[in-house]
Amino acid sequence: MGLDGTGLDATAIAKIQNYRQQAASLLLYQSVFDSDVSKALSALLLALTTADKIASASAYGQWFSALATCQQNWPQHLVLQILNADNAFAQQAQALPNNPTSAAQLAEHIAPSLLAAVEHDLTILRSFYQLKSAQLSEWTGRLCTNGTTSSESPPFIPVSESSSLHPFPSTPAELANHYLTHGVGIFGQFTAFRWQSAPNTTGGQLAGILNPDPIQLTELVAYDHPKQQLIQNTESLLRGYTAQNVLLYGSRGAGKSSLVKALLSEYYSQGLRLIEVPKAHLQNLPQIVSPLSRVPQKFIIFVDDLSFEEDDEAFKALKVVLEGGVTARPQNVVVYATSNRRHLIREFFDERPRPKDANEIQAWDTVQEKLSFSDRFGLTLTFTPADQSTYLTIVRQLAKQAGLSLEPENLDWRARQWATRHNGRSGRTARQFVNFLIAEQDD
């Protein structure tokens, strides 16, 4: 029992207070303690120093539960928080011309005061990295049981502490290498994003997609010419050249959306990021694109199944991004849109000017404005409907990739029957048919 009768002695209380003081002394990495896990730890340390038994027991449970929810132990979580931090040092580090191999090289680009602040914070965070779950469990148990245990007051279970997924970054140069290679903040944590409405705001926010579609370019069969053109354009973007905005136009089920998503699987390690923007949020495009120019990653703004009605506000917003307004489109951003319509704005026969109409002097100019909108994409890739030969080629290749063992004649016959009874010949139909065969083979 401690000297004050609380179950914690003066030495333990001094250590706990020191941890709290160190956390408050962070200069750049305060965000490390913004996560639910870190907040629960801060609450636990506070409860322990105030000798509040109920608050300590509750805080320990919250901390244990938060770690279990994110399926991490404390060292793992702390390192990931450091690597995902977005601060002045991380922003400057990700813009370095190359990976620093020494402190001297890093000092050529980063101010000495900033490097000193990083060293200061790493010293503090290393002490938290070395803080064992067993120690927290012991402190909580001693406080809540007055240094004794019984069947009515079981000990607090420590969190499992397997090795960290990442070693602790011991120097600013190691941290800088990580930021330069993987990115900073949300762009370092995720490769794919979706723009969605934000509560209590008129705009929205980027939400990271935890498990993006894993489809690979090698899984996409046929349409080799548009596929190669899109790959070439994307590689130009990654090399820092001015890439074209692209409209992928053609029949449904041809694999247009899959091709765009497969680019992410192929090039994410080179800094490619994908932002999916629903048509309902196209008016937010300027808000989405503006901050992207300040980060080194390359971005595809992905708009799926694009079409517009007359006087659609989204049409005007997309036009500004495609053509550029007073502010030029960032060179690290392109728009890839898919559509089943060659002319993206619906036009009706009664909209076409007739000699007797006198409502608009230059009526044909209005029509041409609508019809030419797709021309604002620098590159239009056409995906024609799959004929029988193309459809069967796709089926055979997908069946081969899946390791299916069917006689070629039987496979072709069943594929033709499937297309007749379902959605016609297309890449999507071929994929659905092969998925059916995989499930059938496993039964």
Count of domains observed in the chain: 3
Q: How far is CA 341 from CA 125, 304, 361, 379, 429, in A?
A: 55, 12, 28, 15, 20
Pair 278, 357 in one domain: yes
CA–CA separation, 408 and 442 (whole Å): 19
For 357, list phi and psi in degrees, rounded to 5. -80, 135
Same domain, 201 and 247: yes
Check whether residue 142 and residue 289 sit in a common domain.
no
**Residue 68: inside a domain:** yes
Per-residue pLDDT of the chain (443 residues; tens, 9 = 90+): 454 445 788 899 999 999 999 999 999 999 999 999 999 999 999 999 998 899 999 999 999 999 989 888 899 999 999 999 999 999 999 888 887 777 888 888 999 999 999 999 999 999 999 998 889 999 998 888 765 544 444 455 665 555 556 789 989 999 998 898 888 889 988 999 999 877 666 678 899 998 999 999 988 888 899 999 999 999 999 999 989 999 998 888 888 999 999 999 999 989 999 999 988 888 888 888 888 888 889 999 999 888 755 555 666 677 777 776 656 678 899 999 998 765 544 544 454 455 555 454 444 444 444 445 666 788 989 888 888 998 899 999 889 888 888 888 999 999 999 988 887 888 888 889 999 998 887 65
The boundaries of the domain holding residue 135 are: 10-184
Question: Does residue 4 lie in a domain region?
Answer: no
Together in a domain, 379 and 425: no
Is the same domain home to 122 and 214? Answer: no
Is the domain of 401 the same as that of 303? no
Judgement on whether residues 328 and 371 belong to the same structural domain of the protein: yes
Same domain, yes or no: 30 and 146: yes
Q: Residue 266's domain is classified under what CATH number?
A: 3.40.50.300
Say if residue 198 is in the same domain as residue 135: no
DSSP 172-234: HHHHHHHHHHH-STHHHH-SEEEEEE-TTSSSEEEEE-SS-----GGG--S-HHHHHHHHHHH
For residue 339, list its beta bridge partners. Answer: 249
Number of residues that this document lists for the chain: 443
Considering the domain architecture, whether residues 239 and 295 belong to the same structural domain is answered as yes
Domain boundary among 184, 209, 237: 184
Which of 184, 214, 235 terminates a domain? The answer is 184
Contact in structure between 107 and 118 (CB atoms under 8 Å): no
> Could you tell me if 197 and 271 lie in one domain?
yes
Are 128 and 217 members of one domain? no
Residue 172 lies in a domain: yes
